[in-house]
Amino acid sequence: MRPPIWQPPIELSLRKSTVVKPIRKAKLFVFLRQIRHELFDSDFQLELAKIFKDSSVGLSPVPPVQLALFIILQAYTGVSDDEAIEAIEMDRRWQLVLDCLDCEKAPFSKGTLVKFRALLTSYSFDRRLIEKTVEIAKIRGGYNSTSLRIALDSSPLWGAARVEDTYNLLGHALRKALSIIAESNQDILENVASSFGADIVAKTSLKASLDLDWDDPEAKNLALSNILQTLSSVESQINQKTDLNDSTAQQVQKNLAIARQIQTQDVEEAADGSPKLRQGVAKDRRISIHPDESLLVELELRERQTSEAGRAQLRQRVSVEHSLAHIGHWQGDQARYLGLRKNLFDLRRMAVVRNLHVLARMSHITPENSSLIPTS
């Protein structure tokens, strides 16, 4: 049986306002209490209810919104399942958010929580929670959701970093070939890349310039096709150029050959003729463009700091790094679970917490200045 729509009161009663007033530090409890009806509106609840079987037998399950709010609070406080269940029974802040004030027993058991978490991951609803917070941020305005998405694409559990950097390796090899031409012509990379129709490799981040959903297989194949088409176009134009000296031409061809080597080892042709990532790992797989890659990246960053355009590019990365730092702060430096999918779930709920903090700052919510008006 699918759960009914959960409809807790929106406004605070005088009794519940006494719980809000003393809260000074853990203000996300207050903000979640305020925003829960917006975060889990009726349409989203109907969407969430679809993960349950539609059957006429059995008892009505626990409202999934309560369980989802519990999972967010658990990530926020960093406690285990048992500790969180105990917190519901002992901590009135938890009871305020879950609408079970002064309950003597938690409204659900640990077993129910484990099953719900498995359903969330199997239907990728942990990702949907992030998307919902971003939707709210876009409606309210004043928040750039792209920064968080790029930051998650940079993490080892989400997006491009999960495909062993094939995209980045191709882009980096192409970027180095164009950088050599730029240096030879005493020009900047952006101008040279634009003249070759390869603007995607001139940005600070290849993932940022592509701006795709890296969890979507079709989007990843589209990105791969885009990069390879750019590589072929640049390669064709370079072969027709006659104004490059022998030394520059050799270095450029060397990096283009590296890009083709990466394509050979990591890419294969799908049934429809489009490129896709090869399953498995090739023997003697190339994992970097240069043995001193980290040193060269550091030198490149230092060089960018010397020009106004370079500093502007570096500033674009600041919001990404801040998002990663916040997520890392809340998640910690140790995996909570065994297995990639469960830790991806943990990363995603931390991203939800991060987004809620941003939304709370946008709303300037404090216990003293809350839009939740107590009712009699």
Task: Examine the domain organization and report whether 99 and 206 are in the same domain.
Answer: no
299 inside domain = no
Co-location of 169 and 87 in the same domain: no
Number of domains in the chain: 2
The reported pLDDT for the residue numbered 56 is 63
Residue at 332 is within a domain: no
Instruction: Classify residue 297: in a domain, yes or no.
Output: no
* Residue at 317 is within a domain: no
Q: Which domain holds residue 264?
A: 165-286
Rg (the chain; Cα; Å):
25
Q: What is the DSSP string of 249-305?
A: HHHHHHHHHHHHHHHHHHEEE-TTS-EEEPSS--TT----SSTTHHHHHHHHHHHHT
User: Do residues 196 and 104 share a domain?
Assistant: no
Does one domain contain both 136 and 177? no
For residue 128, being part of any structural domain is answered with yes
Q: Pick the range with the lowest mean pLDDT from 99-113, 166-180, 307-321.
A: 307-321
Do 129 and 170 reside in the same domain of the chain?
no
The mean pLDDT value of the chain amounts to 78
Query: Residue 91 — pLDDT band, cuts 50, 70, 90?
Result: very high
Question: Does 7 reside within a domain?
Answer: no
Verify that 115 and 222 share a domain, yes or no. no
> Do residues 179 and 280 share a domain?
yes
User: Tokens 């995603």 sit at which residue?
Assistant: 348
242 and 355, same domain (yes or no): no
More confident residue, 6 or 336: 6
Tell me the percentage of the chain whose pLDDT exceeds 90.
15
| Within a domain: 247 | yes
Both 21 and 95 in one domain: the answer is yes
Which tens digit of pLDDT belongs to each residue from 222-254? Answer: 888 999 999 999 999 998 887 888 888 898 998
Which residue among 218, 252, 286 closes a domain?
286
Mark whether 122 and 78 lie in a shared domain. yes
Q: Which of 58-72, 160-174, 208-222, 226-240 has the lowest mean pLDDT?
A: 160-174
Structure confidence at residue 307 as a pLDDT band (50, 70, 90): confident
Could you give the C-alpha distances from 376 to 30, 33, 160, 373, in angstroms and in order?
19, 18, 52, 10
Q: What is the pLDDT of residue 166?
A: 80
Q: Residue 228 has what pLDDT?
A: 92
Same domain for 240 and 122, yes or no, is no
Q: Which two tokens stand for residue 105?
A: 């027993």
Enter the pTM of the model. Answer: 0.60
- Alpha-carbon distance of 31 to 263, in angstroms, equals 48
Q: What is the pLDDT of residue 329?
A: 73
pLDDT-derived band at 66, boundaries 50, 70, 90 = very high
Here the tokens at position 119 are: 């359903």
Please check whether residue 97 lies inside any domain of the structure. Answer: yes
